[in-house]
Structure 1
Amino acid sequence: AISVTAIGRAADTHIKRRSGARTGDVIFAAGELGASGAGLHDILEGRPDTQAAGIHRTPRPQVAEGIWLGGRTEVRAMMDISDGIASDIRHVMERSGVGAEIDIERLPVASGADARTAATAGEDYKLLLTAEPAAAEQLAAEFHSRFGTRLYPIGRITDGKELVWLKDGVPVELDWQGYRHY
């Protein structure tokens, strides 16, 4: 067994909790999703040397990106996507007392994955965040300029309590779930 504990300090203004999302916020994914899930599939199918398999074996958490986003006042809630966005957005919703709409066509699907894998597979370790709508476009532009990667707007926070998947702007019934602990 391996157990790791990390302890650190940060200014309260730089801590973005799951409880910070507000109705109307733009939901962003900080990178393409599903590469690790596609890599696990490749490994299980006997193809351990694919690019996706390498991504699965060697995750790269977005530490510098998280520190930078943590200092941005327009970012209201943030966490890493470790269990799949279908599960992780629910953590933000529950803690913030809000709902969410996610547009399936706006999911940034990694090469070798499909939309379901992008939404339900974990271990991508990209950041999931919400931001004030008036500042979202500028935040995304500055993020791209600084890190050379995109913030993908995938949906919005609603005043409901449920997660609604949209296709062509219309709600669709999906049973998509990410990893559930216990």
Structure 2
Amino acid sequence: MKKKGLLLGLWSKQLSTTAQKQNAAEDKFGDSSTKINPTTEHIPLEFTPESDQFREPESETEIEQMPVASNSKKSINTASVSKPKPAEEDLKTQISLIDEDLVGLYYKKSAGFLTEEQESELKEKKTRKKELERLLKRKIYNKKKAQKSRDSKKMKLSKLCETHPEIQRP
């Protein structure tokens, strides 16, 4: 009961302050036709003409270097993230199509309208999805393994060039 009383007191204070803001806005503008929503405040945004907000990127490198707004707390470095291969994209689209079919079948199963044919289709799609996910993981693993191999070869070559400068390319 104590917690409920505290919450009600807090809410009543917030309602009274928003009502006062609304009355002040009505007095300021002179009529009640421009009522302000009590949950939002209008903040005017202004940009100077020299601001980067109005400048269009001229090349692809500028587009890549532009900061990207994201909702997640982690920032993704675009240079370290590799571009997905067409085979990976194909597998991902196949998996998403199977997922959509599975959702419909699960919905029918939960409602009790699943026929025997649809039940066998559900089992087949589950196994197909598992196979595709395994294949996708394998492709991603192989891609990382190949990149690691290329990086180690480059490292060995650079070390060799440091120890024997006569074999460096001109």
TM-score by length of 1: 0.18
Whichever structure has more helix as a proportion of its residues is 2
Whichever structure has more strand as a proportion of its residues is 1
TM-score by length of 2: 0.19
**Looking at CA atoms only, which structure, 1 or 2, has the larger radius of gyration?**
2
Ranked by relative contact order (alpha carbons within 8 Å, sequence separation 6 or more), the top structure is 1
